[in-house]
């Protein structure tokens, strides 16, 4: 996968600055426990999921108010920091900890805060206005957040602490208001040319999901092929324009599952149909929950892929953060 080095270096610098330690120093520190989890609890355990190699995972828990419900993920280019927002408009930032073999082993220096609204006031707790489902660091500065129920896209400017300054509302893609209340934009990615890919999880056209590509002002439609009971829940772009797409299945009848797919750049155009190549199908007996957030960064000759699960604030569910490696054979 060819790296557009200058743009990638600029983007990495901007993203790291947005989530630097200084940028979140005035947020509230929280204690987060991290317990290692295997990919496979059977014997002997598997360390592979499709074309991906498991590089460690943890179960996160905390007694802090608002902890849980994490539906999005960003991991810094150096792998040192993570950021996520929840269904209740709380955000969590933390330093990632790795073991002696480079496996994901824990988190440290965790802090939480709250998104503010257009009026600059903290969003009210667990209302129609607070269901944040996706975030994307924007190379020109700031953080883009997608909400459902009241469907909207808000661009937060760089601020200390994070999300403490009023956002600017972007123009909604045509037809997004028709998406089911609880199935708005979940997959959100900035492409190398500065445009955004936005895909709701519940707006269908035949055998595909409707999505859009646009600059936040003008949007053009594309479609994302449907794969059974799976729905798109997050996306991240690679420097060459390819996109890694996370899909999840969470249904009492069809069971739990997560797909990771690689969508080639040439499909991601107005009128295109995104199908791509399946990288992994994560289903029982592999460790699984309601995976909704995706982070991607460059490793040493490989791509490192992180996924986080949304526990829906339910005691029977878990917040898992897991890391996989995709060899860079392209």
CB atoms within 10 A of CB 6: 8
Kindly state the average pLDDT of the residues 32-40. Answer: 96
Kindly state the average pLDDT of the residues 151-179. Answer: 94
CA distances, 324 to each of 55, 88, 107, 307 (Å): 5, 28, 17, 9
**pLDDT at site 295:** 98
**pLDDT at site 160:** 87
Helices (H), 41-129: none
250: tokens are 């969470």
**pLDDT at site 69:** 95
The structural domain count of the chain equals 1
Peptide bond into 194 cis (omega under 30): no
The string of pLDDT tens digits covering residues 166-192 is 999 999 999 998 888 888 999 999 999
Kindly state the average pLDDT of the residues 58-84. Answer: 97
**pLDDT at site 329:** 53
Kindly state the average pLDDT of the residues 247-260. Answer: 88
**pLDDT at site 23:** 33
Average confidence score pLDDT of the chain: 90
> Which residues constitute the domain of residue 314?
5-327
CB atoms within 10 A of CB 312: 15
**pLDDT at site 8:** 46
93: nearest Cα among 125, 77, 70, 118: 70
CB atoms within 10 A of CB 320: 20
Kindly state the average pLDDT of the residues 7-18. Answer: 46
Look at residue 152 and give its three-state secondary structure: strand
251: nearest Cα among 273, 220, 230: 230
Kindly state the average pLDDT of the residues 35-41. Answer: 94
316: tokens are 């029977």
189: nearest Cα among 181, 199, 180, 204: 199
Kindly state the average pLDDT of the residues 161-165. Answer: 93
185: domain CATH number? 2.115.10
**Could you tell me the pTM of the whole model?**
0.91
Q: Which residue has the tokens 């269904």?
A: 87
**pLDDT at site 45:** 77
Among 217-226, 247-256, 296-305, the minimum mean pLDDT is found in 247-256
pLDDT at 11 over 70: no
């Amino acid at each position: 996968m060819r790296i557009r080095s200058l743009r990638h270096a600029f983007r990495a610098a901007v993203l790291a600055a947005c989530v630097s330690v200084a940028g979140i120093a005035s947020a509230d520190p929280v204690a987060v426990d991290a317990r290692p989890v295997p990919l496979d609890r059977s014997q002997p355990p598997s360390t592979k999921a499709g074309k991906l190699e498991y590089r460690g995972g943890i179960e996160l828990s905390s007694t802090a108010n608002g902890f849980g419900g994490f539906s999005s993920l960003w991991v810094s280019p150096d792998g040192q920091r993570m950021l996520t927002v929840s269904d209740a408009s709380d955000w969590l930032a933390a330093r990632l900890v790795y073991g002696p073999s480079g496996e994901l082993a824990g988190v440290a220096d965790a802090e939480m805060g709250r998104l503010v609204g257009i009026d600059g006031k903290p969003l009210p707790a667990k209302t129609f206005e607070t269901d944040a489902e996706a975030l994307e660091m924007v190379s020109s500065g700031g953080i883009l957040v997608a909400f459902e129920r009241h469907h909207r896209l808000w661009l937060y400017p760089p601020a200390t602490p994070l999300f403490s300054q009023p956002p600017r509302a972007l123009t909604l893609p045509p037809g997004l208001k028709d998406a089911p209340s609880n199935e708005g934009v979940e997959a959100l990615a900035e492409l190398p040319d500065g445009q955004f890919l936005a895909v709701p999880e519940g707006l269908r056209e035949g055998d595909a999901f409707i999505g859009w590509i646009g600059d936040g002002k003008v949007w053009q439609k594309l479609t994302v092929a449907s794969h059974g009971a799976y729905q798109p829940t997050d996306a991240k772009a690679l420097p060459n324009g390819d996109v890694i797409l996370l899909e999840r299945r969470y249904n009492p009848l069809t069971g739990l599952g997560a797909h990771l797919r690689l969508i080639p750049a040439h499909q991601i155009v107005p009128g295109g149909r995104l199908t791509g190549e399946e990288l992994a199908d994560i289903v029982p007996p592999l460790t699984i929950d309601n995976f909704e957030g995706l982070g991607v960064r460059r490793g040493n000759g490989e791509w490192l892929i992180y996924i986080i699960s949304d526990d829906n604030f339910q005691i029977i569910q878990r917040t898992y953060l897991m890391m996989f490696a995709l060899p860079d054979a392209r």
